Amino acid sequence: MRVECGSCHELAVATFAITGGEIVATCSACQSITRVSSNAPDAVSTAPADVSSTPLCPKCGAPRTPAAACQSCGLATDKMEAFTQARDAAVPDSVRAAWGRVEDAWTEPARHDELLRLVSQHSAYAWAAGRYRDAIRQRTGDTIGGGQLERVRRAAEAQLLATATGRPDLAKKALVRTIGVLVTLVLIVAAWLVYSIVREDAPPPRPTVRQPRLP
Protein backbone atom coordinates (compact mmCIF):
# COMPACT_ATOMS: atom_id res chain seq x y z
CA MET A 1 0.00 0.00 0.00
CA ARG A 2 1.11 3.60 -0.56
CA VAL A 3 1.95 5.67 2.51
CA GLU A 4 3.91 8.85 3.19
CA CYS A 5 7.37 7.93 4.46
CA GLY A 6 8.42 9.64 7.67
CA SER A 7 12.05 9.89 6.48
CA CYS A 8 11.96 10.95 2.82
CA HIS A 9 8.36 12.25 2.89
CA GLU A 10 7.66 10.55 -0.45
CA LEU A 11 4.34 8.83 -1.18
CA ALA A 12 5.74 5.35 -1.70
CA VAL A 13 4.65 1.73 -1.54
CA ALA A 14 5.39 0.41 1.95
CA THR A 15 5.87 -3.25 2.78
CA PHE A 16 4.87 -4.64 6.15
CA ALA A 17 6.33 -7.68 7.87
CA ILE A 18 6.29 -9.27 11.32
CA THR A 19 9.78 -10.02 12.58
CA GLY A 20 10.73 -11.02 16.10
CA GLY A 21 7.59 -9.64 17.70
CA GLU A 22 7.79 -6.36 15.75
CA ILE A 23 5.80 -4.90 12.88
CA VAL A 24 8.36 -3.65 10.36
CA ALA A 25 7.32 -1.09 7.73
CA THR A 26 9.85 -0.48 4.90
CA CYS A 27 9.69 2.47 2.49
CA SER A 28 10.33 1.41 -1.11
CA ALA A 29 11.75 4.84 -2.01
CA CYS A 30 14.47 5.31 0.63
CA GLN A 31 14.40 1.90 2.37
CA SER A 32 13.73 3.59 5.71
CA ILE A 33 12.43 1.14 8.32
CA THR A 34 9.84 1.84 11.02
CA ARG A 35 9.53 -0.71 13.83
CA VAL A 36 6.62 -1.06 16.25
CA SER A 37 6.24 -3.87 18.76
CA SER A 38 3.44 -6.23 17.81
CA ASN A 39 3.48 -8.34 20.95
CA ALA A 40 0.58 -8.22 23.35
CA PRO A 41 1.49 -6.60 26.68
CA ASP A 42 0.87 -9.76 28.68
CA ALA A 43 1.44 -13.40 27.92
CA VAL A 44 -1.67 -15.17 26.73
CA SER A 45 -2.80 -18.67 27.35
CA THR A 46 -3.12 -21.12 24.50
CA ALA A 47 -5.80 -23.13 26.23
CA PRO A 48 -8.93 -23.51 24.09
CA ALA A 49 -12.01 -21.63 25.20
CA ASP A 50 -15.65 -22.61 25.06
CA VAL A 51 -17.22 -21.16 21.92
CA SER A 52 -20.78 -19.90 22.25
CA SER A 53 -23.22 -20.73 19.49
CA THR A 54 -25.25 -17.58 20.11
CA PRO A 55 -25.23 -15.50 16.90
CA LEU A 56 -24.11 -11.89 17.16
CA CYS A 57 -25.28 -8.73 15.47
CA PRO A 58 -22.86 -8.09 12.59
CA LYS A 59 -22.96 -4.35 13.21
CA CYS A 60 -22.41 -3.96 16.96
CA GLY A 61 -21.61 -7.51 18.14
CA ALA A 62 -24.49 -7.72 20.60
CA PRO A 63 -26.17 -11.16 21.01
CA ARG A 64 -29.05 -11.57 18.60
CA THR A 65 -32.58 -12.06 19.87
CA PRO A 66 -35.83 -13.16 18.20
CA ALA A 67 -36.79 -9.47 17.94
CA ALA A 68 -37.21 -7.81 14.54
CA ALA A 69 -34.13 -5.66 15.13
CA CYS A 70 -30.98 -5.62 17.24
CA GLN A 71 -31.75 -4.35 20.72
CA SER A 72 -28.42 -2.51 20.83
CA CYS A 73 -27.93 -0.76 17.48
CA GLY A 74 -31.33 -1.15 15.82
CA LEU A 75 -30.16 -3.03 12.73
CA ALA A 76 -33.14 -4.91 11.29
CA THR A 77 -32.84 -8.68 11.53
CA ASP A 78 -33.78 -9.17 7.89
CA LYS A 79 -30.93 -6.86 6.86
CA MET A 80 -28.20 -8.49 8.92
CA GLU A 81 -27.20 -10.93 6.22
CA ALA A 82 -26.85 -8.16 3.63
CA PHE A 83 -24.87 -6.10 6.15
CA THR A 84 -22.49 -9.01 6.74
CA GLN A 85 -21.96 -9.56 3.02
CA ALA A 86 -21.25 -5.87 2.39
CA ARG A 87 -18.88 -5.72 5.35
CA ASP A 88 -16.90 -8.76 4.25
CA ALA A 89 -16.86 -7.68 0.60
CA ALA A 90 -14.82 -4.62 1.63
CA VAL A 91 -11.75 -6.80 2.35
CA PRO A 92 -9.84 -9.11 -0.03
CA ASP A 93 -10.60 -12.80 -0.20
CA SER A 94 -7.13 -13.59 1.13
CA VAL A 95 -7.87 -11.75 4.38
CA ARG A 96 -11.18 -13.54 4.87
CA ALA A 97 -9.55 -16.89 4.10
CA ALA A 98 -6.82 -16.17 6.66
CA TRP A 99 -9.47 -15.43 9.28
CA GLY A 100 -11.10 -18.75 8.50
CA ARG A 101 -7.78 -20.50 9.14
CA VAL A 102 -7.44 -18.60 12.42
CA GLU A 103 -10.84 -19.86 13.55
CA ASP A 104 -9.92 -23.42 12.57
CA ALA A 105 -6.70 -23.31 14.65
CA TRP A 106 -7.38 -20.59 17.20
CA THR A 107 -4.47 -21.51 19.49
CA GLU A 108 -1.80 -21.54 16.77
CA PRO A 109 0.16 -18.24 16.82
CA ALA A 110 1.32 -18.70 13.22
CA ARG A 111 -2.26 -18.41 11.97
CA HIS A 112 -2.70 -15.09 13.78
CA ASP A 113 0.65 -13.84 12.45
CA GLU A 114 -0.39 -14.67 8.90
CA LEU A 115 -3.67 -12.83 9.36
CA LEU A 116 -1.96 -9.74 10.78
CA ARG A 117 0.48 -9.66 7.87
CA LEU A 118 -2.36 -9.69 5.33
CA VAL A 119 -4.39 -7.19 7.35
CA SER A 120 -1.38 -4.83 7.35
CA GLN A 121 -0.89 -5.21 3.61
CA HIS A 122 -4.53 -4.39 2.82
CA SER A 123 -5.26 -1.91 5.66
CA ALA A 124 -8.09 -4.12 6.91
CA TYR A 125 -7.53 -3.21 10.56
CA ALA A 126 -11.12 -2.24 11.34
CA TRP A 127 -12.44 -5.47 9.83
CA ALA A 128 -9.95 -7.64 11.72
CA ALA A 129 -10.60 -5.80 14.99
CA GLY A 130 -14.31 -6.43 14.57
CA ARG A 131 -13.74 -10.14 14.01
CA TYR A 132 -11.56 -10.41 17.11
CA ARG A 133 -14.13 -8.53 19.20
CA ASP A 134 -16.83 -10.94 18.06
CA ALA A 135 -14.56 -13.87 18.89
CA ILE A 136 -13.91 -12.48 22.37
CA ARG A 137 -17.66 -12.22 22.99
CA GLN A 138 -18.29 -15.77 21.80
CA ARG A 139 -15.31 -17.52 23.45
CA THR A 140 -15.91 -17.83 27.18
CA GLY A 141 -12.72 -17.46 29.17
CA ASP A 142 -10.62 -16.79 26.08
CA THR A 143 -7.30 -14.99 26.64
CA ILE A 144 -6.02 -15.11 23.07
CA GLY A 145 -8.44 -12.76 21.33
CA GLY A 146 -7.63 -9.80 23.57
CA GLY A 147 -3.91 -10.09 22.88
CA GLN A 148 -4.43 -10.40 19.14
CA LEU A 149 -6.81 -7.45 19.17
CA GLU A 150 -4.07 -5.41 20.83
CA ARG A 151 -1.64 -6.43 18.08
CA VAL A 152 -4.08 -5.24 15.43
CA ARG A 153 -4.44 -1.94 17.27
CA ARG A 154 -0.66 -1.46 17.42
CA ALA A 155 -0.27 -2.30 13.75
CA ALA A 156 -2.90 0.30 12.87
CA GLU A 157 -1.07 2.86 15.01
CA ALA A 158 2.18 2.02 13.20
CA GLN A 159 0.57 2.73 9.84
CA LEU A 160 -0.96 5.97 11.10
CA LEU A 161 2.46 6.99 12.40
CA ALA A 162 4.02 6.27 9.01
CA THR A 163 1.41 8.36 7.19
CA ALA A 164 1.23 11.18 9.74
CA THR A 165 5.00 11.81 9.96
CA GLY A 166 6.01 14.66 7.69
CA ARG A 167 2.89 16.74 8.02
CA PRO A 168 4.81 19.54 9.83
CA ASP A 169 7.11 19.75 6.78
CA LEU A 170 4.09 20.13 4.52
CA ALA A 171 2.87 22.94 6.76
CA LYS A 172 6.28 24.60 6.54
CA LYS A 173 6.21 24.40 2.76
CA ALA A 174 2.77 26.00 2.70
CA LEU A 175 4.03 28.76 5.01
CA VAL A 176 7.05 29.42 2.76
CA ARG A 177 4.79 29.69 -0.28
CA THR A 178 2.51 32.11 1.55
CA ILE A 179 5.43 34.26 2.64
CA GLY A 180 6.74 34.28 -0.94
CA VAL A 181 3.41 35.54 -2.25
CA LEU A 182 3.28 38.27 0.40
CA VAL A 183 6.83 39.41 -0.37
CA THR A 184 5.96 39.59 -4.06
CA LEU A 185 2.92 41.72 -3.33
CA VAL A 186 4.96 44.04 -1.08
CA LEU A 187 7.56 44.50 -3.82
CA ILE A 188 4.86 45.32 -6.36
CA VAL A 189 3.30 47.92 -4.05
CA ALA A 190 6.73 49.42 -3.28
CA ALA A 191 7.56 49.68 -6.98
CA TRP A 192 4.25 51.42 -7.65
CA LEU A 193 4.88 53.93 -4.84
CA VAL A 194 8.38 54.72 -6.16
CA TYR A 195 6.98 55.23 -9.64
CA SER A 196 4.28 57.55 -8.29
CA ILE A 197 6.83 59.66 -6.35
CA VAL A 198 9.11 59.95 -9.40
CA ARG A 199 6.22 61.14 -11.52
CA GLU A 200 5.26 63.80 -8.99
CA ASP A 201 8.86 65.14 -8.71
CA ALA A 202 9.42 65.28 -12.45
CA PRO A 203 9.29 68.83 -13.99
CA PRO A 204 6.18 69.65 -15.95
CA PRO A 205 6.54 69.40 -19.71
CA ARG A 206 7.38 72.63 -21.57
CA PRO A 207 4.53 74.24 -23.48
CA THR A 208 4.74 73.88 -27.21
CA VAL A 209 5.23 77.28 -28.95
CA ARG A 210 3.72 77.43 -32.37
CA GLN A 211 5.61 79.42 -34.98
CA PRO A 212 3.51 81.81 -37.09
CA ARG A 213 3.20 80.84 -40.68
CA LEU A 214 4.71 83.13 -43.25
CA PRO A 215 2.35 84.48 -45.91
Confidence of residue 19 (pLDDT cuts 50, 70, 90): low
Q: Are 90 and 96 in contact (CB under 8 A)?
A: no
Confidence of residue 126 (pLDDT cuts 50, 70, 90): very high
Q: Check whether residue 35 and residue 139 sit in a common domain.
A: yes
Confidence of residue 101 (pLDDT cuts 50, 70, 90): very high
Q: Are 36 and 23 in contact (CB under 8 A)?
A: yes
Q: Return the exposure string of 98-122: e unless at least 16 CB atoms fall within 10 Å of the residue's CB, then b.
A: bbeebeeebeeeebbbbbbbbbbbb
In this predicted structure, what is the pLDDT of residue 42? Answer: 47
Give me the chain's average pLDDT, please: 80
Q: Check whether residue 160 and residue 73 sit in a common domain.
A: yes
Q: Check whether residue 174 and residue 160 sit in a common domain.
A: no
Residue 158 has pLDDT above 70, yes or no: yes
In this predicted structure, what is the pLDDT of residue 20? Answer: 60
Q: Check whether residue 26 and residue 125 sit in a common domain.
A: yes
In this predicted structure, what is the pLDDT of residue 11? Answer: 60
Ranking 18-27, 35-44, 80-89, 185-194 by mean pLDDT, the lowest is 35-44
pTM over 0.85: no
Confidence of residue 94 (pLDDT cuts 50, 70, 90): very high
211 within domain boundaries: no
Rounded average pLDDT over 58-79: 92
Q: Check whether residue 95 and residue 182 sit in a common domain.
A: no
Which residues are CB-contacts of 114 (< 8 A; sequence separation ≥ 6)?
Answer: 98, 101
Q: Check whether residue 148 and residue 184 sit in a common domain.
A: no
Rounded average pLDDT over 135-142: 89
- Residue 87 has a CB neighbour count (10 Å cut-off) of 15
Look at the chain and report how many structural domains it folds into: 2
Rounded average pLDDT over 206-215: 62
Domain that holds residue 109: 2-164
Q: Check whether residue 12 and residue 109 sit in a common domain.
A: yes
Q: How far apart are CA 52 and CA 11, in angstroms?
A: 45
In this predicted structure, what is the pLDDT of residue 159? Answer: 83
Please provide the DSSP assignment of 61-128 as one string: -PBP-SSSB-TTT--BGGGHHHHHHHHHHTS-HHHHHHHHHHHHTTT-HHHHHHHHHHHHHHT-HHHH
In this predicted structure, what is the pLDDT of residue 78? Answer: 94
Residue 137 has pLDDT above 80, yes or no: yes
Residue 1 has pLDDT above 90, yes or no: no
- Shortest CA distance to 34 belongs to which of 50, 22, 52, 21? 22
Residue 56 has pLDDT above 60, yes or no: yes
**Using the 8-state DSSP alphabet, how is residue 143 labeled?**
S
Q: Check whether residue 131 and residue 178 sit in a common domain.
A: no
212 within domain boundaries: no
Rounded average pLDDT over 51-74: 88
